[in-house]
Structure 1
């Protein structure tokens, strides 16, 4: 097991007192396999279990990337309270668009940026720019959507197969009636085509001006929208609603036919983040990343199986692209049509198939014996450890990946700055480079030294979607407080909220360690637990409620440690009514959050908090200890590119040593609830940091 800076992410506090052992995880890519368990309790790859995953031996290309971008400003009549379930690391991607430098090419993208600058003059222009010829109809449709989303003031025109752009005269006319930001947001609202949604302009108490806006919208968009003025708390504003049968302008027949098509599939990916895999697939299929839905995020450094649904893509077209996906470390199976997207959180948990290599007792040297005495000793250690964790569980810490494993500045530090609305500080922390002079660190260092976002964007690798989105916004809006806020808003909600959640997760980890150290391993007065009551009328049980453990319940041992909850900080949670309540107050005050409402209105972030069980328990656990020559039990695998974080012999970079012939290996198989970390379970079993 490695002992590095990642260990500082998780406090050293355990439940069981067994000795544990040392070993290496993720030495080979096949050593860590994660399979999603659906809401029926079935592993999603059951039907394809006999297939050899193409993703286990395929190439991947880190130079192709898709960027996400959210319509951050427009308001909709649906629920806009950006609360997120902290039980998931990342929420569903918001409406996004591709990095134009990828979809158009770097030179054409730069030409487009220059063309846009020429349109900033006050005088209208009839200039046009050719973006090139696109023979594939899906590619053309994607270019139209991507360009209009990035530049709402542009009109895209197809003269097959060429696509041209010019200024949209409707946009210029509207921007003379309302602010430029409102005009941009309105045009994004029109293109977003969210059924039942509405857009509201800013307060406007000038009746003549409102009339002019009404007339313009009626004249130019009357078949698509209806408008009305309404008063609220003494101010009047114009609200625009999409008509039920209306369709946004510039939509093609091809887009309309594909709009309501949903295709489900099982994605097997290797050494890829979930959002990175979605980016690749979206680029190949010519759709937006937001057209993909999934139940949960999966590990990067692993082979993972998970359910997904893609919108606007038929099963036949998806099957036609599977060969291209396999080149990128992805394999698709069980492809079939469905009637709706997948919802985040619709899973029971995950199944893990793990291999721990080069086992040895704590305190043993790397040059260990393979004799019978050593093997017998390890058998005893492993049996005791697995049985203890199976019976007593493990501390339900958030794993190191929650905080940005290996980064110079942890994600929770960025999150704290965002919660305190320190936009500039958060941006500078975000762009803190790693040691070394890799392209990403070089681009970050250049930005911090020069404050020149445009030059830094040119240096930033195309695969770094978040960094490029931020730099593009900083170049457009400046690097002051308002510009930095716009930079954060350029990220979809799922990416923005990750950082504040990382901070809250850090506090939770510290809280559970303090709770166990000071109050012990029993349920205490003032602790929080879930309770359910039986309804007298129906005999059914009520919804779970938070209950505060009483002194009598503590004395009688009514509740166990496994039932105790700790709150994730937020604006809707109850804190324990014992010493832990005071601890939370003091801990948040230490970071200047004593009066924090856990809302960042300017970034549309709301952190309601949640309750997380103090302990987690593996289910269906099995293990086997055996002598395995290096390469067995999940070794090897195909060759990958030099940019991959996996070597051509199947080993992951960063694993110490080369393994030894006849070295003991432990295979572990178990299930965990969603949002529980297998590496933390292994940590309790082995009594060292993964």
Structure 2
């Protein structure tokens, strides 16, 4: 199967040719919230200004779904966005001189990072500097933040190594109760005692240490103490501190801009982290899109102050209001689309006079029968040379160096980002490539910064991937699994036809559950179709679901199940556990309905001068308008 050729359609109408996304105005996407209301509707602001407190039962139900809000909060921090390029360069110059023992003057042994009146932003700076430079100590004097060498780090580095000391201090800063850090084996009891004494003296209230022997080698383990189970008496200060945490909701309109790119820019302007923004879904780049967002630690007034700066980058902010909680990925009913298809032409010899009939037949067929629920081209990234699923495959095979080379494979263009990528692949010099990489390319800059510090070998590449937020890392694995799902859907229809057959998996939930079959189903009630049920046609094709590969899904019990096994083995994943332990990634898998249907579809055809077709329809979350259009037109679109 060709990489982007999804030629298996379920309707038999003729279709027509046309072009989409001639301009962003031709592809308008408006998110629908969980109530089915458009996020740009005037009464959204009033409706969501106050949110009721969730019951404990509802909170437990929320935990049954992956919480990408929690995942995003595991960000590693890009100082270039937080401090700005000039200050980051000055900080790196300072640390390089400090590590080379080139600072003799006591007055120059400290560096001021500037004044930060906002205490939340000060906390962000402290955490980011400590993460990137564990050997530094950050000190606040009134609102000014200064950095200097951390004597505790220097002492531990003399007892172990700089690498171990860095890992240990990151372990301490993460403050994960019950987590364990293990030093390398050490045969010297006297030396181990020195390490025990250092850790106990400096971090005794936080940790406990002990030595253990494994295969005649003795190591020291350090465990962060569990939090006290005794409820802490709440003080007035605690309550005041809680009240300081702000959440501001807003509606973002963006024009020809990636969602993550927009967030990176807004975070830099507001002086917060990209992970402080939460959203329900990622929207197309080549489009005008409207979506709900929530930003943490920023007041509505402060957000509104920056409106003019956002507008310069093709972003408009409205519906600004205080709320009590962040958004969660997937918390939307779907999306509403207003599309224009231009340059319409019949596939065959039919003239323009018959175009009206062709369009009507195509729209009615898809309205009644739906379309194959393929993942659209956006799922695989915009790259033509290397797409995200290829990177995902390399990561699943734990080929770290190969995955980084794929990540930096340039396209044909001669813009700055492609020049930076070519320079890295040719020279291996991450620092010089970082200087070339545009500031808005947050992922690439995070990766290059880590490669500059740790090298481009296996370990350095692991550090590079770990420098990206969890959601970015796991995106590539999901992209690979989506590619396999698309191929499985095509194979299923070509080999087993358009009815539910023995061995198929179907959604066997309630009627209410059937409404969700166009979404990714993480824990559905899966039923295997029996031979009797096939004969009696108990289930229809729109109840069939296919698994996304992972370690917690079951596969169909017919030839499609064998196809999955052969397909994964073909890529070297025959025994894959769908876990990439070095990168802290786990893919349990999920289920996705084979078919999807557009709702509330309307159209109008204009044949004067250049024929064009205007379409509006709604799709459930995780369904792609380009795929729906492909079924209507009988033409693969990107």
Would the alpha carbon gap of residues 84 and 148 (structure 1) be closer, same or farther in structure 2, given more than 3 Å must change?
farther
- Secondary structure at 1:583 match in 2: helix
Show the counterpart of 2:354: 377
- Distance in 2, Cα, partners of 1:45 & 1:191: 41
Report how far residue 492 of structure 1 moved: 1.4
The answer to whether the 8 A contact 2:116-2:145 is kept is no
Would the alpha carbon gap of residues 91 and 160 (structure 1) be closer, same or farther in structure 2, given more than 3 Å must change?
closer
Would the alpha carbon gap of residues 199 and 352 (structure 1) be closer, same or farther in structure 2, given more than 3 Å must change?
same
72, 89, 103: which one aligns with 1:93: 72
Show the counterpart of 1:523: 500
The answer to whether the 8 A contact 1:565-1:612 is kept is yes
- Secondary structure at 1:672 match in 2: strand
Show the counterpart of 1:480: 457
1:567 aligns with 2:520: no
Show the counterpart of 2:138: 156
The answer to whether the 8 A contact 1:104-1:131 is kept is no
Show the counterpart of 1:617: 597
**What value does the CA root-mean-square deviation take over the aligned residues?**
3.7
- What does the per-residue CA deviation read over 1:291-340, in whole Å, with 9 as the maximum and x for residues that have no partner? 11111111111122222221111222222222322222222222222222
Show the counterpart of 1:644: none
Would the alpha carbon gap of residues 211 and 399 (structure 1) be closer, same or farther in structure 2, given more than 3 Å must change?
same
- Distance in 1, Cα, partners of 2:33 & 2:212: 47
Show the counterpart of 1:389: 366
The answer to whether the 8 A contact 1:33-1:304 is kept is yes
The answer to whether the 8 A contact 1:530-1:563 is kept is yes
Report how far residue 180 of structure 1 moved: 4.3
Show the counterpart of 1:25: 20
Report how far residue 585 of structure 1 moved: 1.3
- Distance in 2, Cα, partners of 1:463 & 1:106: 11
1:685 aligns with 2:629: no
Instruction: Say which structure, 1 or 2, has more relative contact order (CA 8 Å, 6+ apart).
Output: 1
The answer to whether the 8 A contact 2:44-2:319 is kept is no
Report how far residue 577 of structure 1 moved: 0.8
Name the stretch that deviates more: 10-19 or 441-450.
441-450
- Distance in 2, Cα, partners of 1:181 & 1:41: 52
1:501 aligns with 2:478: yes
- What does the per-residue CA deviation read over 1:538-571, in whole Å, with 9 as the maximum and x for residues that have no partner? xxxxx84211111111111111111111111111
215, 220, 223: which one aligns with 1:239: 223
- What does the per-residue CA deviation read over 1:166-214, in whole Å, with 9 as the maximum and x for residues that have no partner? 1122333344456645543554455557xx7454211689898787666
Show the counterpart of 2:37: 42
Name the stretch that deviates more: 12-21 or 95-104.
95-104
The answer to whether the 8 A contact 1:198-1:240 is kept is yes
The answer to whether the 8 A contact 2:164-2:183 is kept is no
Report how far residue 358 of structure 1 moved: 2.6
Report how far residue 512 of structure 1 moved: 0.9
- Distance in 2, Cα, partners of 1:392 & 1:363: 23
- Distance in 2, Cα, partners of 1:40 & 1:567: 28
- What does the per-residue CA deviation read over 1:622-667, in whole Å, with 9 as the maximum and x for residues that have no partner? 222235xxxxxxxxxxxxxxxxxxxxxxxxxxxxxxxxx7423222
Would the alpha carbon gap of residues 563 and 180 (structure 1) be closer, same or farther in structure 2, given more than 3 Å must change?
farther
Would the alpha carbon gap of residues 181 and 124 (structure 1) be closer, same or farther in structure 2, given more than 3 Å must change?
farther
Report how far residue 418 of structure 1 moved: 0.9
- Distance in 2, Cα, partners of 1:312 & 1:41: 28
86, 98, 109: which one aligns with 1:128: 109
Q: TM-score, normalised by structure 2?
A: 0.84
Name the stretch that deviates more: 582-591 or 320-329.
320-329
Show the counterpart of 2:488: 511
Would the alpha carbon gap of residues 105 and 46 (structure 1) be closer, same or farther in structure 2, given more than 3 Å must change?
closer
Show the counterpart of 2:53: none
- Distance in 1, Cα, partners of 2:600 & 2:31: 15
- Secondary structure at 1:353 match in 2: strand
Report how far residue 495 of structure 1 moved: 1.2
- What does the per-residue CA deviation read over 1:121-157, in whole Å, with 9 as the maximum and x for residues that have no partner? 6999865343454476476565444323322321233
The answer to whether the 8 A contact 1:456-1:471 is kept is yes
1:351 aligns with 2:336: yes
Show the counterpart of 1:400: 377
Report how far residue 106 of structure 1 moved: 3.7
Show the counterpart of 1:109: 88
Report how far residue 256 of structure 1 moved: 5.2
Show the counterpart of 2:404: 427
Show the counterpart of 1:490: 467
Show the counterpart of 2:533: 553
Name the stretch that deviates more: 320-329 or 280-289.
320-329
- Distance in 2, Cα, partners of 1:246 & 1:203: 33
- Distance in 1, Cα, partners of 2:247 & 2:328: 13
- Secondary structure at 1:47 match in 2: coil
The answer to whether the 8 A contact 1:112-1:129 is kept is no
1:281-430 to 2 correspondences below 5 Å = 281-363=266-348, 374=352, 376-430=353-407
Show the counterpart of 1:599: 579
Report how far residue 403 of structure 1 moved: 1.5
Would the alpha carbon gap of residues 241 and 665 (structure 1) be closer, same or farther in structure 2, given more than 3 Å must change?
farther
Report how far residue 92 of structure 1 moved: 5.2
The answer to whether the 8 A contact 2:177-2:227 is kept is no
Name the stretch that deviates more: 98-107 or 210-219.
210-219
- Secondary structure at 2:568 match in 1: helix
Report how far residue 93 of structure 1 moved: 2.8
- What does the per-residue CA deviation read over 1:239-272, in whole Å, with 9 as the maximum and x for residues that have no partner? 214757999xxxx99x957752222222222222
1:250-269 to 2 correspondences below 5 Å = 260-269=245-254
Show the counterpart of 2:54: none
Show the counterpart of 2:561: 581
- Secondary structure at 1:46 match in 2: coil
Would the alpha carbon gap of residues 545 and 84 (structure 1) be closer, same or farther in structure 2, given more than 3 Å must change?
closer
- Secondary structure at 1:39 match in 2: coil
User: Structure 1 regions of 5+ residues with no counterpart?
Assistant: 1-5, 51-81, 366-372, 535-542, 628-660
Q: TM-score, normalised by structure 1?
A: 0.78
Name the stretch that deviates more: 450-459 or 570-579.
450-459
The answer to whether the 8 A contact 1:84-1:91 is kept is no
Would the alpha carbon gap of residues 222 and 231 (structure 1) be closer, same or farther in structure 2, given more than 3 Å must change?
closer
- Secondary structure at 1:95 match in 2: coil
User: Structure 2 regions of 5+ residues with no counterpart?
Assistant: 46-62, 512-522
Would the alpha carbon gap of residues 98 and 238 (structure 1) be closer, same or farther in structure 2, given more than 3 Å must change?
closer
Show the counterpart of 1:675: 622
- Distance in 2, Cα, partners of 1:578 & 1:567: 13
- Secondary structure at 2:375 match in 1: coil
Report how far residue 229 of structure 1 moved: 5.7
Would the alpha carbon gap of residues 488 and 204 (structure 1) be closer, same or farther in structure 2, given more than 3 Å must change?
closer
1:663 aligns with 2:610: yes
The answer to whether the 8 A contact 1:271-1:300 is kept is yes
- What does the per-residue CA deviation read over 1:96-122, in whole Å, with 9 as the maximum and x for residues that have no partner? 365434544444423322322334369
